[in-house]
Structure 1
């Protein structure tokens, strides 16, 4: 080789090296797009461009836009961690622990924008709404209600969901005052007893008498 010349490595083209790196890059790009544009506004092509991969790789890892949205919720909420934290300490105080975990997600520096994107997506798009329903009840609230041992765990989970989703809409999206300006501890003091009641308290006339 003549003096002064160097052998240079060929530039990499095509897919990112390593499936784990590519999958994580797609997830990160998807979380950003869904947070900024919602489920309807975010396209798989744009997400692939942001991640620096071919669009076919998005389908390879996640199957569809619905699959990618569901994976993005998993990446944001970490349901197993939430459930474990709520159940740590038993039935007493489970409502408060669940509510505090929920508020941390909504107010966290790294998760608040994603949470807003998830909820905004669920309002106009039935597919996103269905995935959010299935996710929050199936992977978080029903497992908590079942582990606490009360009757009708799916009913309890749906009641808790009504409280948490309603709270998110009024506090973080619509910003109804004075709820929007209340501190986290003030919200917990006001709302946690209701969540605890849904999880472990009597359900009144439910389930209806048979026959």
Structure 2
């Protein structure tokens, strides 16, 4: 950060805490701020295309703090309040941008989807087709190169770094296994087997690139995997 003593005389004053939270200074609003003023999260949610430039900076500030906290404390040890404190913002602003701790993790780690939101939608479908539904959703994510890349990066790191492995393990437990148990009472061992089956196939397909698995069509793989996944997930 630039030393205030070295700034040009024409430079505007440093942003106030409210500006940091995505809210303009009182002088730009033309009114005096009162005790009942809305916090930055509410103001950010109400503004249209003319939102202040500080909004993006604040979001990145939160994500940077989240990455450090997840790396240091793991997924379980991190909290929205702790991330907000490290970023110097109100916890309500973190919730406004990301919704939940899983949402912060997904954004901070550039994960392509939030399984905490996706999985319940998959598991509340036709009970007799859970295996097929899970295979199709999973395949759709992995067949997209842009979505596949960050997942593979995380898996590779987790295979060689214990801290990364713990972080991934805790996130998968919270976002996938616990939610699967909540939605359909699927025992963790069965859900782990289903996820392991899918990840193993995708690694063989996209990393090791073993034929004919590597060149099989997604529909062929769904047809192959669905019965086994159904056995794991069905009643």
Which TM-score tier does this pair reach, normalised by the shorter chain? 0.5 to 0.7
Aligned mate of 2:194, from 160, 181, 197: 160
Post-superposition offset of 1:139: 1.2
Equivalent in 98, 115, 119 of residue 79 of structure 1: 115
Aligned length: 162
Aligned position for 1:64: 69
Higher relative contact order (CA closer than 8 Å, sequence separation 6+): 1
Task: Say yes or no: does 1:22 pair with 2:85.
Answer: no
Return the TM-score normalized by structure 2: 0.57
Which whole-Å CA distance do the structure 2 matches of 1:20 and 1:14 have between them? 12
Aligned residue for 2:127, secondary structure, equals coil
Task: Name structure 2 gaps, 5 residues minimum.
Answer: 1-9, 23-53, 76-104
Return the alpha-carbon distance in structure 2 between the equivalents of residues 193 and 122 of structure 1: 29
Alignment of 1:124 onto 2:160: yes
Q: Compute the TM-score of the two structures, normalised by the length of structure 1.
A: 0.62
Contact 2:71–2:163 (8 Å) recurs in 1: yes
**Does the CA-based 8 Å contact 1:96-1:188 persist in structure 2?**
yes
CA distance in 2, matches of 1:64, 1:75: 17
Q: What's the Cα RMSD here?
A: 3.4
Query: What 5-or-longer segments of structure 1 have no aligned partner?
Result: 1-8, 29-57, 202-211
The 2-side partners of 1:162 and 1:184 are apart by 18
